[in-house]
Structure 1
C-alpha cells in the first residue's frame, strides 16, 4: 500500500502519519521539480508514487520498503546500514513472505497462548535436533511480537550452544547462567537495537552443569517474575537430542512450540518429543515446519 500523491503541495503535515511520498522525498532530499516529475509519471502510468520514483531513478526499492516500514511502524534496517544479522529477516525484509509467515504464526499464538483468557505463560521453542532453526525462529518471532507494542523478552536458555547474543549483537559476559547460579550480576537484559519493545537476555557464561541450573527453583521463580514485567516471554532451548534441558525449560515456561525442519526431522523423534512435553505438563501451542 503505497499512498498516492496528487500535487507536490499536498504533502501530509509533520506530526501525522505521513504518506509514502512524504517519506521518500525526505529520505532522498528530493527537490520540488523532482517531486513534480514523479507525480507526472505517476499520473501518466497509473502507478504508485514509490514505483514512479524507482522508475525515474530517483529512489531505490530499498527506499520504498524503508518508507513503508516507517508508515506502518515496522522495524527495518536499510541497505548500507545493516550491521544487523542477516537471519533477522523480519527487520531486513519486513514485507517479504517469510516475515508474513512469522506474523501469521504470531496471530495463532495470540489466540492460543497469549490470549487474555489464558493463564500467563512463557513460550519455549523446542525441536528434536541441531540445525532445526530454533534461534532463528525465536529471534524473528520476538521481533514480530514486539511490533504489537507490548514489551517482549527473548531469553536464551540454550546453555549448549547459545546464539541469540550473536543475532542481536549484545554482550554475553553475564546473563541467565549468572542469575541461576546466584551471582549478583548487572546488565543481564539488553534492549534490541532499533527494535522498540524488544529485549534480549543472553546465556552469559556457559555453565558446566546446565541441567542442574535449570532444575533449580530459581528458574521457575525467574520466569514468573519476568511474566510480571513483560507482555511476552519467548525462550530458546537446546535440541532435545542434547538431553532433558528442553523438556525442563518447557515445563517451567508453561507452554511449548515445537519446531520441525522440512526434509530433516524424523517422525519418531518428533513424536517422542511431543510425548515428553505432554508428560512435562507444558501446553502444546502447535508444530511449525521450518522450510528456511
Structure 2
C-alpha cells in the first residue's frame, strides 16, 4: 500500500462525567457528527492529535476510545492518539498506552509513568511517530532532549513508504496572542524541523489551535486541524480569544509525491459562541499557563 488516507481529528476534550465543554458543547455529539461527516469513506489511519480529554480522567479516555475504535475498524483504519496540554500522562497511558494501542509500540524508554508518551509503530510500510509536547500544569508545548533523540533515532532508517509525525503543539506560529503564548517552544519547534529535514517524513499532524492551517516547512506540510469540541475564530481581534459551536477535521491523503489536505468544518449553531475572552482575561491566562519569560 503505497498510498495512505488519514482522518485527522483533534481536541475532542471529553469529560469523564459527560459534562459539557465550557458548559455549552456536548463533545460526544460533536465527535459523532465529525465521524458521520466522513462515514462513507475508508481510511488507513484515524489520528486524534491531542487534548483527547478535558479533565484527564481514565473514563474520558475510555469514552473516546470506545466511540472511535469500532468506527475506525469498520473502515480498515488503525487508531492513533497523541498527548495534548489538557491530557494527563498517567491516565492517558493507562487507557491508550503509547498512543498507538492497536499496534506493537516501541515506546520512549523509561519506567516513570509521568514520562512523555512517545511511540513509533509501522504498518503496511508506513511509520507513525507519536510525540508528546505537553508540559504538565502548563498550556504551552515542549519537546525535550530525550524525545528529540528518540525522533532522530527513529528517522535514521527510512520506512518503506514514509513517516507520519503526530504532535499536539504545531511547529508553526499561531494566529492569536493567547495561542502563540501557548504554542510550542520556538527552539523546540526549530529542532523538530531540523530533525525531520531530509528524512522520509511526509506530513506532520497537529491540533491545539482549533483552526485549520496548512503550512509547508522545508517542503513538509504541517497540517493543523480544527477542533472537534469547538473551532477558533481565526480572523477576530488577535488580542482576544473566542470560539464557535462547530466541529472540524481534515482528510489527508498521501499518494506518491502528492500530499492532499481537504479540511472540513461544520457549524452547529450559527449564532452561538462557545466562549469569548477579552484582552484582560487573555493576559491572565497567558500569565497562568503561558511560557515563562
Q: Same fold (TM over 0.5)?
A: no
Give the greater-gyration-radius structure (CA). Answer: 1
What TM-score does the superposition give when structure 1 sets the normalisation length?
0.33
What TM-score does the superposition give when structure 2 sets the normalisation length?
0.33
Between Structure 1 and Structure 2, the one with more helix by share is 1
Between Structure 1 and Structure 2, the one with more strand by share is 2
